[in-house]
Amino acid sequence: MQCSFNVVCVTEMWKDFRTKHSSQSATTVSYELYRRVFEEENITFGQPSQDDCEICTAFNRHHSDLTEHPPDCAICAASREHLERAKNARHEYHKTNSGKTYAADMQKIILLPKLTTKQHFFVSRLVVFNETFACLNEGENDIAVLWHEAINGRNAADVAAAYVKCLELSNSPTVTIWADNCCGQNKNWTLFTTMCLCVNQEWGPNEVTIKYLEKGHTYMKADSIHGSIGKKLKKQAEILTFPDFVDLVDSSSKFLKPVVLGTADFYEFSAENRTRKTKNVTLPLLTNICSVTFKKDSRLMFFKTDFSQEDTAVDFLKPKFNVSSSFPSPHTKHRGISSSKRDGILQLLKEVPSTKKKFWLELTTCETSRDLVTNLE
């Protein structure tokens, strides 16, 4: 199926190329030559592979259960609204925004080292994180923000640090970031507080907007980048250290720039939002938000619950919180992993060169750090 889809894509593109470029040199370009260029550039085509949408799956079951539905069927109405939101979000995603636009997503968990022996499947390995910011502006580089569990975890403040790094590297007064609806990573008050702090720093952009695709319909450019990295991972039999993985990410695409976060890149970010309902202010439900914007010299959050709406402004922060204050204290030491986990990994690497063992021997250990293979933070 994948092969036939590839062939159809390249064939149609070859025909279009010959039609648009009617010069003698273009018409003499054979299909085989055109196809070979794609292979040499490591370009492939495929339909998006993603989890089925839970809402759509539930509706499909409901639809198959009954031959006829009443006009006021709540499930049918909810499905129609869901698909309409997905359509509107996708339409918004393809719009051109001012400044830099990124699609942000965290890659599925990567475990190191990767070995050819089956024993490594039974040892708790190092968890590696890749928060990818795929740039939707033509000709601009994508960013892979990388760290591992011995440096820090993956809670809301840790992911917010990756967003901050993206803003620093964007070098743009206006930044738009597309994300999925994962509350733990991309839609929470800690991240919103951090973005408001960023725009009010002297170095910060003038405006930051985060937009959200509809749950279950979140395929975006970042997923393609993760696919390319995954393909390289499959082809490479062994990846012994984190620096080896960074090199692999770097080689997965000439447009992808890996950036490794250090200890000082993580801050004690926290949620500084006020109580949801007060006498004068009612904050929106996070689940209903499809877009949030933060602007320089303002403590307001400008939000939408539908892309067709105008922005609604709300002062979401605690009254005493100062948006012009400096960032909270940066971390001063690595999170670390348990010594038993590190020793278990070293047992796997008895036969590898000492230069590769050096990375593992120098990892910070901390007996109170939870193993992120089996625990979430």
Radius of gyration of the chain (CA): 24
Give the pTM: 0.83
- Residue 333 CA to residue 262 CA, distance in Å, equals 9
Can you give the pLDDT at residue 9? 60
Can you give the pLDDT at residue 300? 97
The 10s digit of each residue's pLDDT in 296-322 is 999 999 999 999 999 999 999 999 999
- Residue 232 CA to residue 284 CA, distance in Å, equals 42
The 10s digit of each residue's pLDDT in 163-182 is 999 999 999 999 999 999 88
Can you give the pLDDT at residue 307? 95
Please report, for residues 189, 215, 288, 325, the alpha-carbon distance to residue 320 in angstroms, rounded to integers and kept in the order given.
16, 35, 27, 11
Can you give the pLDDT at residue 377? 59
Structure tokens at 46: 């495929």
Can you give the pLDDT at residue 44? 61
Q: What is the DSSP string of 271-312?
A: --BPPSB-SS-BPPPGGG-SEEEEETT--EEEEESSTTSPPE
pLDDT in tens, the chain (377 residues): 334 335 446 666 777 777 777 665 656 777 777 777 777 766 665 545 455 677 777 777 776 665 667 777 887 888 888 888 888 999 999 888 889 999 999 999 899 999 988 888 889 999 999 999 999 999 899 999 999 999 999 999 999 999 999 999 999 999 999 999 888 899 999 999 999 999 999 999 999 999 999 988 888 999 999 999 999 999 999 999 999 999 999 999 999 999 999 999 999 999 999 998 888 889 999 999 999 999 999 999 999 999 999 999 999 999 999 999 999 999 999 999 999 999 999 999 988 889 999 999 999 999 999 999 876 55
Domain ranges of the chain: 2-40, 54-93, 96-377
